[in-house]
Amino acid sequence: MTHRLFSTALVLLLLVAGIALATDLPSDRPYVTFNAAKQDAMTPEMAINKLKAGNRRFVDGTMHNRDLSAQAQRTASAQYPFAVILSCLDSRSAPEIIFDQGVGDLFVARVAGNVISDDILGSFEFATKVSGSKVIVVMGHSACGAVMGACDGVELGHLTGLLAKIMPAVDATPVPADAQRNASNADFVEAVTAANTKLQVAEILRQSPILKALVDQGEIKVVPAMHNLSTGEVEFL
């Protein structure tokens, strides 16, 4: 009887282990880091879907319990990020967290108002043409202070020039005849923020022939998105 119970327990243990192994096979399991083969096999659409899945985990509170220290060690000699994120400087909109990704998964550039510059364009060309990332996401967020500053025409040192890059979105955003065109109008701010993400995408493609060619060849996508600070959800526009 004891032998039989032991055998039954052993079978159950092996069965549970097998189920655990089987359920841990997806490519975004917490401890997996990208290698060249995984990166090459990914399409731009797959990259976007992986970001969406990670954001859903963040919103639902089911984020992976990652061993970031171990991931840092595994990626010390090489990196193969699948996506590039241009996000605002805002402390509440950290791409690695809201997309639930680990060390070595994302290239991230952050600047107030998620505006582009020559340095950022060069970084994106490296990230995609040289390092193989499949998608560039320009991500704004709700209640953006930089956009509010642009809406109010704020001038402050070097910030003045940065906000000037948002002004085309401010100027292009309509409002009802009786509505304010400034930061006191929350709906206007949100509309300008969304317009600015699309404007920056257009400027990336206009200013970088390298990135435009990669898009035309189907190698990458460049897409705008909005992060809702209240819900955590990222909407791809």
Tell me if 144 is assigned to a ligand binding site. yes
* Tokens at 146, concatenated: 């930089």
Residues 6+ apart with CB under 8 A from 46: 134
Tell me if 141 is assigned to a ligand binding site. yes
Tell me the pairing of strands 135-141 and 234-236: unpaired
Nearest residue to 141 via CA among 181, 96, 85, 87: 87
d(CA 69, CA 168): 43
Helix and strand numbers (H, E) in the chain are 11, 5
Tell me if 90 is assigned to a ligand binding site. yes
CA angle 66, 67, 70 (to 5 degrees): 140
Tell me if 216 is assigned to a ligand binding site. no
Question: Residue 214 in 3-state DSSP?
Answer: helix
d(CA 153, CA 155): 6
Annotated binding site: 88, 90, 141, 144
Annotated binding site for Zn(2+): 88, 90, 141, 144
